[in-house]
Amino acid sequence: MDYIFHLTTLSSIFAILAIGLNLVMGYTGLLSVAHAAFYGIGAYASAILMRSQGMNFFVAMGLGVLLSMGVALLIGLVLSRFDGDYYALASLGFNVIVFGIMLNWEELTRGPLGIPGIGKPKLGDHTIFSNMEYFFFTLFFLIIIYLLARLITRSSFGRTLKGIREDETALQVFGYKTVYFKLAVFVIAAGMAAVAGSLYGSYITYIDPKTFIVMESIMIISMIILGGLANNRGAVIGATFFVLLPELLRFAGFPPDIAAHMRQIVYGVLLILLMMYRPQGLFGEYKL
């Protein structure tokens, strides 16, 4: 049972990541390969603040979110000039750069050693410790993020994002400064990723740069493509599937090291098949 809560907690964390990226990729049509960077910035910022400043989890998370959004604003100023393949490549570049900083700024991040002993959140005097409690704690954040995303995608702003996805040039001729919209959604998504990062660090109690590599960004992209682009529910379903898939493979009798590779193979083949036969994903409302 404890293990089930472990899996659902991880699913919820990835669901938060997927919902955020879906705003950028599914709704706005921008293939950002930098999402893991903001996940990492949130995780590192709150871990460092909690450990060295003894800060409360919520304050640390809040500051992590602000930092992540601030960095996203700077990166977004550059990124928002691009679209298509170039957006993908430039954002991937930023993920590599942020990863490089996590790995090499050892005074701050302890480099490849990572940060162990990250504290758990406290509600009053109560520490959220058991897997079950942590799951409900994470679920609470997932629900907030989900509702927030729903609000955004149903607003006029969300409609404009879709317009950018469909034809940015035409939309500009109708008077939109699309750069601001692209920037805003990128910053919002980065904030959501930072929430997931704080939750992850505090849950596992240990983080290192390897968790936030480009491959992780690609995994999150795969989740939303599978679940469905421009559909918030699809993002949650995709994330859950991706967390449960290795477990299914283990139940099917594959030893863990083989299961890890099998999982990647299944991801890869799924991406190919989806692109060939169902480019909007399982529940998606937008075809790439």
Partner 1 sequence: MSLKTKNLEKHFDGVHAVDHLSIEIKPGVITGILGPNGSGKTTLINVISGIHPIDGGEIAIGSQTFSSIKRHEVPDFDITRTFQNVRVFEQMTVMDNLLVILSSRSVLTSLRQRATPKQLDRAQEVLKKVGLWEKRNSLASKLSYGQRKLLEVGRVLAMDKKINLFDEPFAGMFPEMVKRVSGILQNLKQCGKTIVLIEHNMQLIRELCDYVIVMDAGKLLAQGEPEKVLAQKNVIEAYLGE
Partner 2 sequence: MDFVVQLTINSIIAGSIYTLMALGFNLTYGATKFFNLAHGVMATIAGYTVFYFSSQPLYISIPAGIFAAGLVGYVLDRTIYSPLRKRKASNMVLLVASLGVFTALESLIALKFSSQHQSLPEIFASVPTFNLFGGSFTAIHLLIVASAAVCALGLHALLKYTLFGKAINAVSDDEEVSKIVGINTNRLMGQVFFVGSAIAGVAGILVGFDTVIIPIMGMPLLLKGIIAAIIGGLGSLWGGVLGAFLLGFVENFGIWHISGEWKDVIAFGLLILFLIFRPQGILKKS
Three-class secondary structure of residue 84 per DSSP: helix
Write down the least CB distance from residue 232 to partner 2, Å: 20
Residue 77 binds what, of partner 1, partner 2, none (CB under 5 to 8 Å, by partner type)? none
Three-class secondary structure of residue 281 per DSSP: coil
Binding-site string for partner 1 from residue 140 to residue 159, where x marks contact by CB under 8 A and - marks none: ------------x-xxxx-x
Binding-site string for partner 2 from residue 185 to residue 224, where x marks contact by CB under 8 A and - marks none: -----------------------------x---x--xx--
In terms of CB distance, is 185 or 236 closer to partner 1?
Answer: 185
Residue 177 binds what, of partner 1, partner 2, none (CB under 5 to 8 Å, by partner type)? partner 1
Write down the least CB distance from residue 108 to partner 2, Å: 15
Sign (positive or negative) of CA dihedral 89, 92, 97, 98? positive
In terms of CB distance, is 143 or 170 closer to partner 1?
Answer: 170
Binding-site string for partner 2 from residue 88 to residue 117, where x marks contact by CB under 8 A and - marks none: xxx-xxx-xx--xx-xx-------------
Question: How many Å apart are CA 263 and CA 261, to the nearest integer?
Answer: 5
For 74, other C-beta atoms within 10 Å of its C-beta total: 11
89 binds partner 1 (CB under 8 A): no
Write down the least CB distance from residue 27 to partner 1, Å: 11
Question: How many Å apart are CA 227 and CA 220, to the nearest integer?
Answer: 11
* Rg of the chain, C-alpha, whole Å: 18
Q: Which residues 162-201 are close enough to bind partner 1 by CB under 8 A? A: 162-163, 165-167, 169-178, 180-181, 184
What would the two tokens of residue 16 be? Answer: 């938060």
Phi and psi torsions of 122, nearest 5°: -120, 135
For 38, other C-beta atoms within 10 Å of its C-beta total: 37
* DSSP states along 2-64: HHHHHHHHHHHHHHHHHHHHHIIIIIT------HHHHHHHHHHHHHHHHHHH---HHHHHHHH
Please identify, among the stretches 12-20, 61-69, 77-85, 146-154, the one whose residues bind partner 2 according to the rule CB under 8 A. 77-85
What would the two tokens of residue 201 be? Answer: 């660090």
**Which among 58, 7, 8, 14 is positioned nearest to 200, based on CA atoms?**
14
279 binds partner 2 (CB under 8 A): yes
Please give the residue ranges that form the binding site for partner 1 (CB under 8 A).
152, 154-157, 159-160, 162-163, 165-167, 169-178, 180-181, 184, 285-287
Please give the residue ranges that form the binding site for partner 2 (CB under 8 A).
31, 78, 81-82, 84-86, 88-90, 92-94, 96-97, 100-101, 103-104, 214, 218, 221-222, 225, 258, 261-265, 267-272, 274-276, 279, 288
